[in-house]
Amino acid sequence: MKPTEPALLAGISTEYADMLLLRFGEFTLKGKNRTRFEKTMLRHVREIVKPYPKARLLKEYGRIYVELNGEPAEDLLEGLVKLFGISSVSPVKAVRPVLEDIVEASLEFIGRINPEPGTTFKVNARRVWKDFPYGSQEMNRLVSAPLLKAFQALSVDVRTPELELRVEVREQQAYIFCENIPAVGGFPLGTNGKAMLLLSGGIDSPVAAWSSMRRGLEVECVHFFSYPYTSREARQKVVDLARVLSRYAGTIRLHLVPFTEVQTSFAGIGQDNLMITLMRRAMLRIATALAEREGALALITGDSLGQVASQTLPSMNVIGRATELPLLRPLVMMDKSEIVALAQQIGTYDLSILPFEDCCTLFVPKSPTTKPNLNIVERVEATLPGYADRLAEAAAAAITVEITPHGDERPADEADLIPAVKEDWF
Amino acid sequence: MIYWDYAAAAPPHDEVARTVEQLMRLHYANPSSLHRAGAEAAALIERARQVSAAALGVLPGEIRFTSGATESNNLAIKGAALQYTGRGRHIITTEIEHPSVYESCLQLQAMGWEATFIRPDAYGMVNPSEVAAAVRRDTVLVSVMHVNNEVGSVQPLSEIGRVVKSANPRTLFHVDGVQGFGKLPGGPRDFGADLYSLSPHKIRGPRGTGLLYVKEGVQLFPLLSGGAHEGGIRAGTENLPAIVAGAKALRMAAERRGEFVSRILPLRNRLLAFLRGIPEFTVNSGEEGAPHIVHFSYPGMKGEVMARQLEQLGMLVSTRSACSSRLAEPSRVLLAMGRGESTALGGIRISFGDEHTASDVGALEQALLGAIKALKIVEGGMR
- Could you tell me the pLDDT band of residue A9, with boundaries at 50, 70 and 90? very low
Judged against a pLDDT cut of 80, whether residue B379 lies above it is answered with no
- Substitution target in B28, B44, B45, B251 with the highest count of A β-carbons within 10 Å is B44
Residue in chain A nearest B27 by alpha carbon: A420
Q: CA of A7, closest CA in chain B: separation in Å?
A: 6
- For the whole model, what pTM was predicted? 0.69
Judged against a pLDDT cut of 50, whether residue B259 lies above it is answered with yes
CA dist A99 and A241 (Å) reads: 53
Closest CB to B47 among A8, A240, A421? A421
Please, is B22 exposed, middle or buried when counting C-beta atoms within 10 Å of its C-beta (0-12, 13-18, 19+)? middle
Q: Is A223 known to sit in a ligand binding site?
A: yes
Judged against a pLDDT cut of 60, whether residue B325 lies above it is answered with no
The answer to whether B113 and B205 have CB atoms below 8 angstroms apart is no
Q: Is A307 known to sit in a ligand binding site?
A: no
Judged against a pLDDT cut of 70, whether residue B322 lies above it is answered with no
Judged against a pLDDT cut of 80, whether residue B320 lies above it is answered with no
Q: Is A198 known to sit in a ligand binding site?
A: yes
Distances (CA, A) of A413 to A240, A369, B233: 16, 36, 30
State percent of chain B over pLDDT 70: 97
The stretch A122-150 carries a mean pLDDT of 93
Strand partners, A93: A176
The full set of domains in chain B, from first to last, is: 2-7+257-382 (3.90.1150.10), 14-252 (3.40.640.10)
CA dist A303 and A313 (Å) reads: 11
Q: CA of A390, closest CA in chain B: separation in Å?
A: 28
Pick the residue with more confidence: A158 or B199? Answer: B199
Q: CA of A223, closest CA in chain B: separation in Å?
A: 21
Would you call A347 and B217 a contact, using CB atoms and an 8 Å cutoff?
A: yes
CA dist A361 and A367 (Å) reads: 13
CA dist B11 and B243 (Å) reads: 17
Residues of chain B found within 8 Å of residue A240, distances taken between Cβ atoms: 61
Would you call A354 and B228 a contact, using CB atoms and an 8 Å cutoff?
A: yes
- What angle, 0 to 180 degrees and rounded to 10, lies between the N-to-C axes of helices A387-396 and A275-294? 50
Q: What is the pLDDT of residues B141-160, one digit of tens each?
A: 999 999 999 999 999 999 99
Q: Is A268 known to sit in a ligand binding site?
A: no
Highest mean pLDDT among A69-73, A261-265, B202-206: B202-206
Closest CB to B40 among A350, A420, A425? A420
The answer to whether B114 and B250 have CB atoms below 8 angstroms apart is no
Residue in chain B nearest A7 by alpha carbon: B169
CA dist B226 and A258 (Å) reads: 32
Judged against a pLDDT cut of 90, whether residue A179 lies above it is answered with no
Q: What is the pLDDT of residue A109?
A: 86
Q: What is the pLDDT of residues A212-239, one digit of tens each?
A: 999 999 999 999 999 888 888 889 899 9
Q: What is the pLDDT of residue B383?
A: 44
DSSP string, A93-127: EEE-SSHHHHHHHHHHHHHHH-PPTTEEEEEEEEE
Residue in chain A nearest B231 by alpha carbon: A354
Judged against a pLDDT cut of 80, whether residue A3 lies above it is answered with no
Number of A:B CB contacts under 8 A?
Answer: 48
State percent of chain A over pLDDT 90: 61
Q: What is the pLDDT of residue A250?
A: 87
Closest CB to A231 among B34, B43, B245? B34
Judged against a pLDDT cut of 70, whether residue A188 lies above it is answered with yes
Sign of the Cα pseudo-torsion (A411, A412, A416, A420, in order): positive
Residues of chain A found within 8 Å of residue B39, distances taken between Cβ atoms: 232, 417
Range A209-221 burial, b when 16+ CB lie within 10 A, else e: bbbbbbbbbbbbb
Residues of chain B found within 8 Å of residue A424, distances taken between Cβ atoms: 15
Q: What is the pLDDT of residue A45?
A: 93
Judged against a pLDDT cut of 50, whether residue A10 lies above it is answered with no
The stretch B181-210 carries a mean pLDDT of 96
Residue tagged active-site, from B323, B327, B358, B378: B323
Please, is A408 exposed, middle or buried when counting C-beta atoms within 10 Å of its C-beta (0-12, 13-18, 19+)? exposed
Closest CB to A426 among B36, B51, B232? B51
Judged against a pLDDT cut of 60, whether residue B104 lies above it is answered with yes
Q: CA of B358, closest CA in chain A: separation in Å?
A: 31
The answer to whether A211 and A328 have CB atoms below 8 angstroms apart is no
Which spans in B217-285 are helix H? 240-255, 257-276
Would you call A417 and B39 a contact, using CB atoms and an 8 Å cutoff?
A: yes
- Kindly give, in sequence order, each residue whose CB lies less than 8 Å from that of residue A51, ignoring residues fewer than 6 positions away: none
Q: Would residue B323 show up in a list of annotated catalytic residues for this protein?
A: yes
Pick the residue with more confidence: A29 or A410? Answer: A410
Would you call B170 and A7 a contact, using CB atoms and an 8 Å cutoff?
A: yes
Closest CB to B216 among A347, A355, A426? A347
Strand partners, A403: A252
CA dist A311 and A303 (Å) reads: 6
Residues of chain A found within 8 Å of residue B23, distances taken between Cβ atoms: 425
Closest CB to B39 among A232, A347, A355? A232
Sign of the Cα pseudo-torsion (A38, A43, A47, A53, in order): positive
The answer to whether B372 and B27 have CB atoms below 8 angstroms apart is no
Would you call B248 and A425 a contact, using CB atoms and an 8 Å cutoff?
A: yes
Range A307-329 burial, b when 16+ CB lie within 10 A, else e: bebbbbeebbebbbebbebebbb
Mean pLDDT of the residues in chain A? 89
- Residue A103 CB coordination number (10 Å): 20
Residues of chain B found within 8 Å of residue A350, distances taken between Cβ atoms: 217, 219, 231
Would you call B43 and A418 a contact, using CB atoms and an 8 Å cutoff?
A: yes
Q: What is the pLDDT of residue A8?
A: 40
Residues of chain B found within 8 Å of residue A231, distances taken between Cβ atoms: 34
Would you call B217 and A420 a contact, using CB atoms and an 8 Å cutoff?
A: no
Judged against a pLDDT cut of 70, whether residue A5 lies above it is answered with no
Q: What is the pLDDT of residue A6?
A: 37
The answer to whether A298 and A327 have CB atoms below 8 angstroms apart is yes
Strand partners, B142: B92, B173
The alpha carbon of A81 is separated from its chain's Cα centroid by a whole number of angstroms, namely: 11
CA dist A81 and A87 (Å) reads: 8
ipTM of the complex: 0.80
Helix (H) or strand (E) holding B107: helix B99-110
The answer to whether A123 and A156 have CB atoms below 8 angstroms apart is no
Residue in chain A nearest B57 by alpha carbon: A406
- Could you tell me the pLDDT band of residue A359, with boundaries at 50, 70 and 90? low
The answer to whether B60 and B214 have CB atoms below 8 angstroms apart is no
Residue in chain A nearest B168 by alpha carbon: A7
The answer to whether A265 and A205 have CB atoms below 8 angstroms apart is no
Residues of chain A found within 8 Å of residue B47, distances taken between Cβ atoms: 421, 426
- Kindly give, in sequence order, each residue whose CB lies less than 8 Å from that of residue A222, ignoring residues fewer than 6 positions away: A196, A197, A198, A199, A254, A255, A256, A257, A283, A286, A287, A290, A398
Q: What is the pLDDT of residue B380?
A: 62
Judged against a pLDDT cut of 80, whether residue B331 lies above it is answered with yes
The stretch B77-81 carries a mean pLDDT of 97
- What angle, 0 to 180 degrees and rounded to 10, lies between the N-to-C axes of helices B303-312 and B358-382? 120
- Substitution target in A113, A353, A421, A426 with the highest count of B β-carbons within 10 Å is A426
Would you call B43 and A426 a contact, using CB atoms and an 8 Å cutoff?
A: no
Residues of chain A found within 8 Å of residue B248, distances taken between Cβ atoms: 425-426
